[in-house]
Amino acid sequence: MATPTDLQSLLRRIEKATTRLEELATKRAESAPAGGSTTSSVDPSTSKAGADGKALLEYEAAVQPQIANFVSYSDKIGGVVAEQARLVETLYHAQRNFLRTATLTKKPTMDQLPGLLGPQQSAIQQIISLRDANRPSEYFDNLSTIAEGIAAFGWVAVEPTPVPYINDMKDSAQFYANRVLKKWREKDENQVEWVKAFLSALRELSAYVKLFHTTGLVWNPKGEDVEVAARAINGEAAAAPVRGTGAPPPPPPPPPPVYTDSGEADGSAGATTRGALFADLNKGGEITSGLRKVEKDQMTHKNPTLRATGLVKEIPHSASTAQQQAPAKQRSPRMELQGSKWVVENYGTEHLTIEATETKQTVYMFNCAGTTLEIKGKLNGVAIDSCQKCGIVFDSLVAQCEIVNCKSVQVQARETVPAIQIDRTDGAQVFLSEAARDNTQITTAKASEVNVSYPHETLNPEDDNFVEQPIPEQFQTVVKNGKLVTTVLEHSC
């Protein structure tokens, strides 16, 4: 039961609240139009713009069907691809809510903006983390396609050129999309449609931004403050609460630990044995390098004395034999700028990025395996030497791209490259952009399995695709009029 003191305290609080409400009503009456009618803190026309504004409706009409189509094909593939597609759908809804907030709100301060972008940043981080946590998956190229291209949805924070930014992210996704097409084109038609659906979503997003937000996201100069607008749409669109001095949202949780077959945590004998077994199996053909030659006097079928005893005397190993069996030292990875030359060497399955600041700079990639190197900016030239299963993406080159002593490498030019030279290489996939397609000269020597892919234009942009053509490997030479005449065999093209 409440005491008299509690009741008196409650009455005082009610009186203060009533007084405050009366003061607010008086101020609104003084600021009302001449007609004497009062208006709410959020103008109805502004609210109407937030709910049904043309820019917001066009965003829904342009992007939502593409996202739905992409999610549909992802569900057909299933697994982690479908899981990642759900995160992309979450990102779309978060961005739609953000655009609706922009129609109600004045341009926020730099302190307020991170709070508004929080849901989108969280979704993008989850998409990238899902890719990183599933590197051994057979759908890793699918996951990488989305992880590389999803940054295009960050256009809302880019000024004054968001459209080129979206197109750059689309080109980054195209590298892995081409891998998906190459791997699944003949096996699963859903994969081909899946690639088209995602790239179409980015294409429609670019067209929408070009039409309504050419120089950056358009805010409502007559709108309310961020907190008021966020509360106004909180019930309908689940807007995230924003504070005037809000800090950026907390980072997403770390990816799940990578499974390793290491046995017990205390390093038991069973785990050690299994580790040694797998280490020997990974040697491949070198697993027999430690075996010594059996001399004739040690062969029981040629030596009756040994057959009688059943024993073979052990010969002590010489120092030279021990040296031969010693494993080769593994070189440490290194990426550094030496003058105007970037040196990248001894890397494994990693994704590296280089920002070229001067056109005179060059990149030399050596002794890498499974590495993806992305070069941003215009530079002089690129050389790839003694690499296996590596991929390299660059924007534009002044001179040439050279591939030497490599196996199973991929090279993509986003813009232009005058020449590509391939020497002593088994397996090379070259992807040319529309700008480089008709202006690039490719020279090969002692090279096999070299294919060139380039965009093929049709009347319908949705049907545009990359055409893959092999470079001939077989030639026929005859003597005519005292001169050698060489032609390409038709079946080798």
Given a cut of 60, whether residue 50 has pLDDT beyond it is no
Q: Are strands 362-366 and 381-385 parallel, antiparallel or unpaired?
A: parallel
| pLDDT tier, 261 (very low <50, low <70, confident <90, very high otherwise) | very low
388, with CB counted inside 10 A (0-12, 13-18, 19+), is middle
Res 44: pLDDT: 38
Res 146: pLDDT: 94
Res 291: pLDDT: 72
DSSP 286: G
Q: Report the 10 Å Cβ neighbour count for 404.
A: 17
- Output the pTM of the full model: 0.50
| pLDDT tier, 409 (very low <50, low <70, confident <90, very high otherwise) | very high
Given a cut of 50, whether residue 442 has pLDDT beyond it is yes
Res 116: pLDDT: 84
Size of the chain in residues: 493
Given a cut of 70, whether residue 237 has pLDDT beyond it is no
Res 111: pLDDT: 81
| Average pLDDT taken over every residue of the chain | 79
Res 410: pLDDT: 94
pLDDT tens for 139-184 read 999 999 999 999 999 999 888 889 999 988 888 898 899 989 988 8
Q: Report the 10 Å Cβ neighbour count for 86.
A: 14
Given a cut of 80, whether residue 246 has pLDDT beyond it is no
Beta bridge partners of 105: 224
Distance CA 175, CA 422 (A): 20
Identify the CA nearest to 94 among candidates 316, 298, 249: 249
Given a cut of 50, whether residue 43 has pLDDT beyond it is no
Give 246's Cβ-side CA count (13 Å radius): 20
Distance CA 365, CA 388 (A): 11
Look at residue 269 and give its three-state secondary structure.
helix
Mean pLDDT of all residues in 409-413:
94
Token pair listed for 95? 């961005």
Token pair listed for 82? 């479908």
pLDDT tens for 3-24 read 555 666 666 666 666 666 666 6
Mean pLDDT of all residues in 327-331:
65
Mean pLDDT of all residues in 73-88:
93
Please give the residue that has the higher pLDDT: either 368 or 293.
368
Cis peptide before 114 (omega within 30 of 0): no
Identify the CA nearest to 404 among candidates 443, 376, 377: 443
CA trace torsion 51, 55, 56, 58 (10° rounding) = 130
Please give the residue that has the higher pLDDT: either 236 or 101.
101
Given a cut of 70, whether residue 194 has pLDDT beyond it is yes
% pLDDT > 70, the chain: 68
Q: Report the 10 Å Cβ neighbour count for 300.
A: 14
DSSP 440: -
Given a cut of 70, whether residue 117 has pLDDT beyond it is yes
DSSP 224: B
Best mean pLDDT range from 38-52, 273-287, 403-417: 403-417
Beta strands in 191-340 (DSSP E): 334-338
What is the residue type of 140? F
Mean pLDDT of all residues in 42-68:
69
DSSP 436: H
